[in-house]
Structure 1
C-alpha cells in the first residue's frame, strides 16, 4: 500500500484584522458617548417623578388619616445616611413638640426604595416646617386642614422639593406643595418649585 498523502487544505483567512476591530470599537464608543447623557437624564427624571409621587402619597396618607381618625397627623421627610426617608405619623397631643418627626420614631422608610440615595431634598426651595437639620414636616389638623397654628410664620403654599443628588438643574427639580390652608395638594416641576 502506498502511504496516504496528506492533502493540503486551503488556509482560511476568516476573522477580523486589528484595524477592523479598532474601527468597530471607535464607532461603539462614539455611540455610547452620544447615548449616555440622554440615558442618565432619563434615569434622573424617573427618579424625580418617583420621589414626587411617593412624597405625594405620604402627604395624602397623613391628611386622610387625620380626617379618618379625627386627630392630628403629619407627613415627615428627612435625610439619614444620605438617603431621603419619609414617615406619616400621628401626634399624641399638641403639647409634645419633641414628637414632631422624631428621628428615633418607628416607621421611617426610604422614599423610593433602593435609589433613595440618588435623591436629595432641595433645601433652597423647601418651605415645610423643620425639626432640626434635614428633617421637614407638614402638619394636619383632625379635619385634614393644615394646622396653621403649628405652621406659624411659614407661608402657604408650603412645599417639599427634590432634586437629583448629582447633576441637579432647576429643570429636573420636582416638588409637592400643600397649596392652601384647606389642604389642597398639587405637584410641580422645574422652575415652578422655586419659592
Structure 2
C-alpha cells in the first residue's frame, strides 16, 4: 500500500489557498469602483461632448420658441376674426413689440378709452417660457398712399391706435378687414406680424393679405426670386 505524497498534498493546498485569495482580491477590486484617473477621463469626455452639442441644441430650442410664438400670433388673429363674426361687432387686435416679452390685446371697436384698453394687455410669453431679450416682434401695415388728390388712397392714421401708436388690425362683423372708422380700405393693406430672434434670424411671420381676412404663414426674408412667400 502506497503512502500518500505529503509534499504534493501540501503543494495542492497552497495553490488552492492562493487561488481563493486572488479571487477575493479581484472581487474587492471590482467593488472598489473606478479609479480617480478613470473618473477624470469620463468627466472630460462628457464635457467635450456637451461643448460640441450645446450650440446645436440651443439653436434647436430657439427655433422651436419662434415657431411656437408665431403659431400663437396666428391663433390670436384668427380668434379675433372669429370673435368679430360671432358677436357681430368689429374687433381690434393690436401687438406691442416694444414690450419685452411682446404682448397683445383684443377688444371691441367700441372700447376707445385708453385706461380700459390698457387693462386688456396679455403677454406673448407662452406661459412664461419666453423671457426678456429672447425674441423680437414687429407688426406692420403696408399703406398705399398717393400725393395726387384725385387718387383715392388710405391714410396711415386710420390703421393706428391713436393712444399707443401701434398698428391695429380691425375685423368687422363679417370678418373682413376694415380701418378703425369701419370703412373698407381702398387697397389691400397687408398686415404682417414678424417674430424672430433678437438678431433677426430664424424669422417667421403671419400675414393677413386680403380684405376678406385671408391669412398665411411665412418664413425667412422675402425675395421675389428665391423666397416669394417670405416675410416682408
* TM-score class normalised by the smaller sequence: 0.7 to 0.9
The reply to whether residue 66 of structure 1 matches residue 96 of structure 2 is no
The reply to whether residue 147 of structure 1 matches residue 161 of structure 2 is no
The reply to whether residue 174 of structure 1 matches residue 207 of structure 2 is no
Match of 1:3 in 2: none
Q: 1:88 to 1:163 in 2, by over 3 A?
A: same
1:162 to 195, 201, 206: 195
Question: 1:51, CA displacement in angstroms?
Answer: 0.9
Match of 1:127 in 2: 140
Instruction: State the distance in 1 between where 2:45 and 2:98 align.
Output: 43
Q: Equivalent residue of 2:131, what SS?
A: helix
**1:130-150 Cα distance to aligned partner (Å, 9 max, x none):** 546684431222321111466
Q: Equivalent residue of 2:119, what SS?
A: coil
- The answer (yes or no) to whether the contact 1:77–1:86 under 8 Å persists in 2 is yes
User: Where in structure 1 are there 5+ consecutive unaligned residues?
Assistant: 1-7
Match of 1:116 in 2: 130
Q: Name which one, 1 or 2, has greater alpha-carbon Rg.
A: 2
Q: 1:80 to 1:153 in 2, by over 3 A?
A: same
RMSD of equivalent CA atoms: 3.3
**1:33-54 Cα distance to aligned partner (Å, 9 max, x none):** 1221222122112211111111
Instruction: State the distance in 2 between where 1:62 and 1:159 align.
Output: 15
Q: Equivalent residue of 1:117, what SS?
A: coil
Kindly indicate which of the two structures has a greater share of residues assigned to strand.
1
Q: 1:189 to 1:37 in 2, by over 3 A?
A: same
Instruction: State the distance in 1 between where 2:55 and 2:165 align.
Output: 30
Count of residue pairs brought into register by the alignment? 178
2:220 to 186, 190, 193: 190
Q: 1:169 to 1:31 in 2, by over 3 A?
A: farther
Question: 1:156, CA displacement in angstroms?
Answer: 2.6
State the TM-score, normalizing by the size of structure 1.
0.73
User: Where in structure 2 are there 5+ consecutive unaligned residues?
Assistant: 1-20, 142-158, 223-229
Question: 1:66, CA displacement in angstroms?
Answer: 1.6
- The answer (yes or no) to whether the contact 1:91–1:99 under 8 Å persists in 2 is no
- The answer (yes or no) to whether the contact 2:97–2:137 under 8 Å persists in 1 is no
**1:124-182 Cα distance to aligned partner (Å, 9 max, x none):** xx3145546684431222321111466979973220111134xx443x11111101122
- The answer (yes or no) to whether the contact 1:73–1:89 under 8 Å persists in 2 is yes
Q: Equivalent residue of 1:39, what SS?
A: helix
Match of 1:138 in 2: 169
Q: Equivalent residue of 1:32, what SS?
A: helix
**1:57-106 Cα distance to aligned partner (Å, 9 max, x none):** 1101111122222221111222576222222211117xx4x65993x233
